[in-house]
Chain A
């Protein structure tokens, strides 16, 4: 098995099934063969996008995937996948247990097998198990809770056992999508006792939904069994599931390149500024390796210090940007961490303008900033020196930006 490198880049040769979802792959190292994963969602959040994304990740890395559909028609499912920017390809095969219910005729094709009478549990069982004999790397069932609704939990539980046996003997793996409508606990527990990993998808909600998160409740192939924390996510259409950091602060002395950093890292950044200097804040949204983050930049000029505390509130991580040619500003940089009340949060130091004459070396900067050896420092440079405009944020080279994002995101998950 080739190791999944997550934020350090995705190897283009993944042979085993993966989630294709940031954080899940980093923590669980994909879905090993012979394993059954159940993704259990609250009805107000849903898990269908997890299904689309897992399928897409695998069919595009050469894994043959079988998806069992009883929630909607193959055509409708493929339309929906496409809207998330997850188009199907020749590695995707479908068992259609839906069309027979609506009475709309569905023709078998190379890639679509039809269950003639989806009300017949034995036909459902035998067709699925038989098809698994045709060499699939992954089976996805959308939806498993609907099977329990349609028939009953005793069928669902015994079908789960059959699937597990088949998956083990054929070196395949399975992902079952499940909506928890508030079934009897003992039924659900019995079902769950048979799966190798359970992932829970939920909303943070009172009157309205504030956010969505997923959490690994159980996983029997990770030995050290780390405490899996829950992570916020957004389901983007198109784009799919992104692990989401609602607030990351970008601070540092005046003119260091905070606005430049935010504009270079995000597509849609806006700044409230005057003659290039930030006078209120910058904001930009970053999309990077399956992660999404909202960056908030502070002004650097001291006359705006009263804003700093407010800007730092609720941040969960910090980019501290310094000008590599101005060590005299370094004490101010550390002071800004205090004033934004973010001292002690995960931080990555950005040593910017390392293209300029007189830029200090990494080690000199670390020393002058009194950086703890655990703190990561990344050098960034203008992409094109000839285009640096004193009244505009400048575009920074992508390599440094990516290194910085990756270093901080790793600390946040």
Chain B
């Protein structure tokens, strides 16, 4: 099967895109372009008829949609149908926020059970519709800040186990600078492949390891 195109021309040419069913850790610092990478990937994957469950931990679903729109990505036609948001952020500011047809409001970063239940059920819905599914965690850093790391590892192990069984592709986005090296090391171990992003002198670069077509030296991403 063809990989999942990210929408970045030379990334896709050099790597064949992301492999289905694999678990990717997306590492980078604040300015490295992780969000830009994910948003473009979302656009490209949705237009190629994939379904996406987007786990959001650091902003509200309405902010996310605004960000898509401000980048010229028209997400609206996909909302609910192929794009579902699990919003683990909104309740922190507005405790009475409630669900709508495309965003499920979760209880917050400590309720990993609630997140795992909602993820299982959103995944089941998409898999039953015979759609290839991608789970995107934007981002893990917030879960790691609030919880004991061991608790998060256990959670990730569970989520990854389920995803593998169901043939789902997973992407974890992590802000590397926020965590001690052993945390980053463990996330690597849970993942199959690692994408590193960095910003240098105004240009963005990537590396990819753990897939059939690796790119082990930083290459410009545009």
Q: Point out residues on A near B: beta carbons under 8 Å.
A: 41, 43-48, 70-73, 75-77, 79-80, 83, 98, 101-102, 104, 143, 145-146, 149-150, 179, 181-183, 203, 205-209
Q: How far is the CA of A25 from the CA of B49 in the complex (A)?
A: 47
Q: Mark B123-161, 1 if CB is under 8 A from A, else 0.
A: 110011000000000000000001110110011011000
26 pairs, CB–CB < 8 Å, chain A vs chain B: A44-B120, A45-B117, A46-B114, A48-B113, A71-B107, A71-B113, A72-B107, A73-B91, A73-B108, A76-B91, A76-B95, A98-B110, A104-B92, A149-B148, A150-B148, A150-B151, A179-B113, A181-B151, A181-B155, A181-B158, A182-B157, A207-B165, A208-B124, A208-B166, A209-B120, A209-B121
- Is there an interface contact between B120 and A71, defined as CB atoms closer than 8 Å? no
Q: Does B98 make an interface contact (CB < 8 A)?
A: yes
| Residue from B97, B98, B121, B155 with most neighbouring chain A CB atoms (10 Å) | B121
- Is there an interface contact between B95 and A75, defined as CB atoms closer than 8 Å? yes
- Is there an interface contact between B96 and A71, defined as CB atoms closer than 8 Å? no
Interface members, chain B 85-99 (any A CB < 8 Å): 91-92, 95-99
Residues of A within 8 A of B67 (CB): none
Q: Mark B184-195, 1 if CB is under 8 A from A, else 0.
A: 000000000000
Q: Does B162 make an interface contact (CB < 8 A)?
A: yes
Q: How far is the CA of A181 from the CA of B161 in the complex (A)?
A: 12
- Interface band, chain B: 35 or more
Besides A72-B110, A79-B97, A83-B98, 6 more A-B contacts (Cβ < 8 Å) are: A44-B116, A101-B146, A102-B108, A102-B146, A149-B147, A208-B123
List of 3 A-B pairs having minimum Cβ-Cβ separation, nearest first: A75-B95, A72-B107, A44-B120
Q: Known: A72-B91, A146-B110. Is A182-B117 also a contact (CB below 8 A)?
A: no
Cross-interface CB contact of B107 among A76, A149, A207, cutoff 8 Å = A76
Q: Mark B204-216, 1 if CB is under 8 A from A, else 0.
A: 0000000000000
Q: Does B31 make an interface contact (CB < 8 A)?
A: no
Q: How far is the CA of A165 from the CA of B147 in the complex (A)?
A: 30
Q: Mark B154-180, 1 if CB is under 8 A from A, else 0.
A: 110110001001110000000000000
Residues of B within 8 A of A182 (CB): 154, 157-158
- Is there an interface contact between B113 and A208, defined as CB atoms closer than 8 Å? no
Residues of B within 8 A of A205 (CB): 120
Q: How far is the CA of A150 from the CA of B95 in the complex (A)?
A: 23
Q: Does B111 make an interface contact (CB < 8 A)?
A: yes
Minimum CB–CB distance from B131 to chain A (whole Å) comes to 12
- Is there an interface contact between A43 and B95, defined as CB atoms closer than 8 Å? no
The DSSP consensus for interface residues of chain B is helix
Q: How far is the CA of A336 from the CA of B168 in the complex (A)?
A: 46
Residues of B within 8 A of A102 (CB): 92, 108, 146
Q: How far is the CA of A73 from the CA of B167 in the complex (A)?
A: 35
- Is there an interface contact between B148 and A143, defined as CB atoms closer than 8 Å? no
- Is there an interface contact between B155 and A209, defined as CB atoms closer than 8 Å? no
- Is there an interface contact between A48 and B114, defined as CB atoms closer than 8 Å? yes
- Is there an interface contact between A143 and B91, defined as CB atoms closer than 8 Å? no
List the A residue with the shortest CB-CB distance to B151. Answer: A149
Q: How far is the CA of A298 from the CA of B121 in the complex (A)?
A: 32
Q: How far is the CA of A47 from the CA of B116 in the complex (A)?
A: 12
| Residue from A46, A83, A143, A150 with most neighbouring chain B CB atoms (10 Å) | A46
Residues of A within 8 A of B92 (CB): 73, 102, 104
- Is there an interface contact between A203 and B148, defined as CB atoms closer than 8 Å? no
Residues of A within 8 A of B99 (CB): 83
Q: How far is the CA of A41 from the CA of B111 in the complex (A)?
A: 14
Minimum CB–CB distance from B51 to chain A (whole Å) comes to 13
